Structure 1
Amino acid sequence: MRILLLTLIFLTTLVACERSVDFDLDKQEPKLVVEATIEARQAPLVFLSRSLDFFSEINPEILTGSFVRNAIVRISNGSRTHQLKEYSIPTPAGTIIYYSIDSSNLATAFPGVEGTSYRLEIEVDGKTYTATTTIPVHAKTVDSIWWRPSENNPDTNKVVLWARVTDPPGFGNYIRFFTSTNGGPFNPGFNSVFDDQIVDGSRYDIQVEKGINRNEEIDFETYSFFDKGDTVILKFTNIDKANYDFWRTMEYNYGSIGSPFGNPTKVLSNISGGALGYFGGYSVQFDTLVIPR
């Protein structure tokens, strides 16, 4: 399972010709970090953790300890409200804690439905946090996917994936995409979200980058390519604007880390009460392509 670990304390060091300037970073109290999703035809999934200091060491004990336990988490679709249940999964990296449908109380449980809005309510340590999201009707679609040899790597097995996309008339269609290779996990693209400001109401072809695991080192020479012999599944989702704004600003900050020309950007959360993170709804389309050897 994917886990989003957000750290909002950044270290900046400025070096001048004559003297160095040192900054003493104020100690920040940990904040609640929320990664909550609900997909069409799927159960809601909520991860709660505490933010870590920029210089914190990460090990299985600290990772496990960052998860929030014994929270009260409710989700509503406007007609029913369901209290989610806490679950745990032991992994080599530590125990993962998450909240999802309570199988002992299915009378109030529900999956995600396109065109429906949802309200999330979280109670932790006497504080209440709320958020809303919508699963859009899946109006922006992928018509077909195919591959081409990589023009930049003509003598290798590297290939590029292409998709033909239809955008309906009217602005406000936002998407996020993921890819799975050879049965692996669905990873988002380096830049995974797009709006329709330029392509509104059109059918267009676009290159689809291979999804990345942001916890691993990225080889920027080859990260976006697939290989001959790969089986690729494209997960193409429609999202609302708040979901788009969170990932747009989050990915901009991620891409700017370490860049002397990058400007810090506030990550736009849709969680009230001072928490970090997001609650996002997804309508989903899957397409599969087998690339011959």
Structure 2
Amino acid sequence: MRKLSFFIPVILLFSACEKDISVDLPVEAPQLVVEGTFENGMYPQVILTHSLNYFSSITPDILAKAFVHNAAVTVTDAGNNVMTLKERVIDSANTKFYVYGPDFTGGSARFTGKVPGTYTLRINADNKAYESVTTIPSRGMRLDSIWWTLVQVDDSTKARLWVKITDAPAFGNYGRYFTRRNREPFLPGRNSVVDDQLVNGTTFEIPVDAGVDKNKKPDVSTDAFFELGDTVTLKFCNIDKATWDFWRTLDFAYNSNGNPFSSPTKILGNVSGGALGYWGGYTVSYKTIIISR
């Protein structure tokens, strides 16, 4: 009874202090959101949307209306060649996406990404100008090999993917990875970036989690592993620090979602002019492995 006599006054104390609190949250004006990528040997792709308020309801109609149309978008290389990007629509699973890519009908220059290369993205949208610079870097981190090991997860046998990477002697190399399972799309890992702060100039081995669809509810107990019989392709990319900063902070925010003890995270974009998002260059390598049954 001593324990009970202690808790009852505490409960009464907190119940006596109850008070309804109403907080008026400000409605922020929409901001331009940029998702731009440029890979070696490929043409650039840029997706432009307007941001939504944190407590906005999400419906297919609202998402469709978030795309920004009729923007003026160009990419300039180090030789001052200017490529105009034109908006096109992509139908995918009954959903329309709008992407800015090279204009094959106009007379502007067209070029694919080179290693190394420096590229400037310029956007005029909503009567505002935005700009960002990225690099497609040299292969400071080299993907040497991939393999798999068996692991027991609950009552089933799964496969864990491993990689061997060699880092160049100079500090300041950054990477990001994606995996593809069979014919599924490439997906980034829950923590998709790596840097050479602790492994500079060495050859190191690390486990690699399977990529995840971040639009779906995560299952932390099984998401990291592959099934026996899977054909797995690893897409490993060298990136610059600005691209690494963006995905490092975004991955942290995603993994902290719902954790009341996590600190607020500022997403570090690299687009000037007040836009959110990033413009990132990727130097890409691929390796494929079959996980035997």
Q: TM-score, normalised by structure 1?
A: 0.91
Query: Retained in 2: the 8 A contact 1:60–1:93?
Result: no
For 1:138, the aligned partner's letter is R
Q: Report what 2:100 is aligned to.
A: 99
Structure 1 residue 60: Cα displacement: 1.9
Deviations 1:56-76, CA, capped at 9 Å, x for gaps: 222221111100000000000
For 2:289, the aligned partner's letter is L
Q: Report what 1:115 is aligned to.
A: 116
Query: Retained in 2: the 8 A contact 1:147–1:291?
Result: yes
Query: Retained in 1: the 8 A contact 2:82–2:108?
Result: no
For 2:130, the aligned partner's letter is Y
Deviations 1:205-241, CA, capped at 9 Å, x for gaps: 1101000000011111111001110000000000000
Q: Quick one: distance in 1 between partners of 2:147 and 2:93? A: 37
Q: Report what 2:87 is aligned to.
A: 86
Q: TM-score, normalised by structure 2?
A: 0.91
Q: Report what 2:8 is aligned to.
A: none
Q: Report what 2:49 is aligned to.
A: 49
1:27-42, aligned counterparts within 5 Å?
Answer: 27-42=27-42
Query: Retained in 1: the 8 A contact 2:84–2:108?
Result: no
Q: Quick one: distance in 1 between partners of 2:29 and 2:65? A: 15
Q: Report what 1:143 is aligned to.
A: 144
Query: 1:62 aligns to what SS in structure 2?
Result: helix
Structure 1 residue 78: Cα displacement: 2.2
For 2:104, the aligned partner's letter is S
Query: 1:64 aligns to what SS in structure 2?
Result: helix
Deviations 1:230-260, CA, capped at 9 Å, x for gaps: 0000000000000000111111111111101
Q: Quick one: distance in 2 between partners of 1:203 and 1:83? A: 41
Q: Quick one: distance in 2 between partners of 1:50 and 1:94? A: 17
For 1:37, the aligned partner's letter is T
Is 2:18 the partner of 1:25?
no
Q: Quick one: distance in 1 between partners of 2:99 and 2:118? A: 22
Query: Retained in 1: the 8 A contact 2:83–2:110?
Result: yes
Q: Report what 1:166 is aligned to.
A: 166
Q: Report what 2:266 is aligned to.
A: 266
Q: Which segments of 5 or more consecutive residues in structure 1 lack a partner in the other structure?
A: 1-15
Query: Retained in 2: the 8 A contact 1:180–1:233?
Result: yes
Q: Report what 2:204 is aligned to.
A: 204
Query: Retained in 2: the 8 A contact 1:78–1:118?
Result: yes
Structure 1 residue 53: Cα displacement: 1.4
Q: Quick one: distance in 2 between partners of 1:223 and 1:97? A: 30
For 1:33, the aligned partner's letter is V
Query: Retained in 2: the 8 A contact 1:59–1:93?
Result: no
Is 2:192 the partner of 1:192?
yes
Q: Quick one: distance in 2 between partners of 1:231 and 1:106? A: 42
Q: Report what 1:236 is aligned to.
A: 236
Q: Report what 1:256 is aligned to.
A: 256
How many residues were matched structurally?
277
Q: Quick one: distance in 1 between partners of 2:24 and 2:98? A: 34
Structure 1 residue 156: Cα displacement: 2.1
Q: Quick one: distance in 1 between partners of 2:83 and 2:251? A: 32
Q: Quick one: distance in 1 between partners of 2:192 and 2:218? A: 15
Q: Report what 1:6 is aligned to.
A: none
Structure 1 residue 153: Cα displacement: 2.8
Structure 1 segments (4+ residues) deviating >6 Å: none
Q: Report what 1:10 is aligned to.
A: none
Query: 1:227 aligns to what SS in structure 2?
Result: coil
Query: Retained in 2: the 8 A contact 1:63–1:94?
Result: no
For 1:69, the aligned partner's letter is H
**Residue range with higher mean Cα deviation, 104-113 or 46-55:** 104-113
Larger Rg: 2
Query: 1:225 aligns to what SS in structure 2?
Result: coil
Q: Report what 2:129 is aligned to.
A: 128
For 1:63, the aligned partner's letter is L
Is 2:190 the partner of 1:156?
no
Structure 1 residue 104: Cα displacement: 1.5
Relative to its length, the structure with more helix (as a share) is: 2
Q: Report what 2:5 is aligned to.
A: none
Q: What percentage of aligned pairs have identical amino acids? A: 45
